[in-house]
């Protein structure tokens, strides 16, 4: 009888536990799981997306048939050094120089800057007087006339110009009152000089460093 009572009590306890479990199951919401509840709880939250990583672009490779820029000249079959133009078959004469024919015949490639006339006015045993007249082809703001002596003549006095002499080379420089000369006009000056043995006329006249043609 004691064992039967214990068995009945055990069954009663089990029935109570089953009822409680059934009641708990009936109170649970249907149509979702625990994961869904967690998802609904986070429904108001927006997931933070990781920024997209930029993938570096791969440089495009040149076509297999292209050639390096440094060897572009090889396609022409000629090697050319930098800074030197290709030689031409045409032979041209440099500008500003006279042709061989002109040099052989003694002709000047350019017109002289002036024409000069040397006049021996008077001469005595150890000295002489002379004048120089220069016709310029260009207008001048100042002038300087130079020439050379052959026989050691020495200029001692000059008028209408100032004189300087270095060896056989004599230079006459314009005075303040006659330094301006129009194109085609004359400039003139005179001087006294010494001579010994021979008194050859001067040569190699220049006006401001440019050759003059001697007319007398």
CA distance 43 to 141: 102
Query: What is the residue-averaged pLDDT of the chain?
Result: 75
Q: Residue 131: its pLDDT value, please?
A: 98
Fold of the domain built from segment(s) 114-214: Immunoglobulin-like (2.60.40)
Q: Residue 110: its pLDDT value, please?
A: 63
CA distance 25 to 19: 10
The full set of domain ranges for the chain reads 114-214
Phi first, then psi: what are they for 19, rounded to 5°? -65, -45
CA distance 31 to 71: 77
Q: Which residues of the chain have pLDDT under 50?
A: 33-34, 37-39, 41, 43, 47-49, 51, 53, 55, 64-109
pLDDT tens digits for 55-75?
Answer: 455 555 555 444 444 444 444
């Amino acid at each position: 009888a004691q064992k039967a009572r214990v068995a009945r009590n055990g069954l009663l306890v089990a029935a109570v536990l089953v009822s409680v479990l059934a009641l708990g199951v009936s109170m649970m919401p249907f149509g979702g799981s625990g994961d869904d509840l967690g998802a609904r709880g986070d429904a108001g939250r927006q997931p933070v997306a990781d920024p997209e990583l930029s993938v570096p672009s791969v440089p495009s490779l040149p076509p297999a048939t292209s050639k390096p820029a440094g060897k572009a000249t090889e396609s022409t079959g000629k090697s050319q050094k930098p800074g030197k133009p290709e030689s031409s078959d045409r032979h041209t004469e440099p500008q500003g120089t006279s042709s061989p024919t002109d040099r052989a015949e003694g002709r000047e490639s350019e017109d002289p800057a002036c024409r000069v006339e040397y006049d021996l006015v008077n001469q005595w045993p150890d000295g002489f007087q002379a004048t120089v007249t220069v016709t310029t082809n260009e207008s001048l703001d100042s002038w300087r006339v130079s020439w050379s002596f052959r026989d050691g003549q020495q200029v001692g006095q000059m008028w209408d110009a100032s004189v300087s002499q270095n060896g056989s080379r004599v230079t006459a420089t314009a005075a303040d009152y006659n330094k301006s000369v129009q194109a085609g006009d004359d400039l003139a000056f005179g001087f006294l000089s010494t001579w010994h043995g021979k008194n050859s006329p001067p040569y190699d006249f220049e006006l401001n460093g440019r050759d003059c043609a001697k007319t007398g």
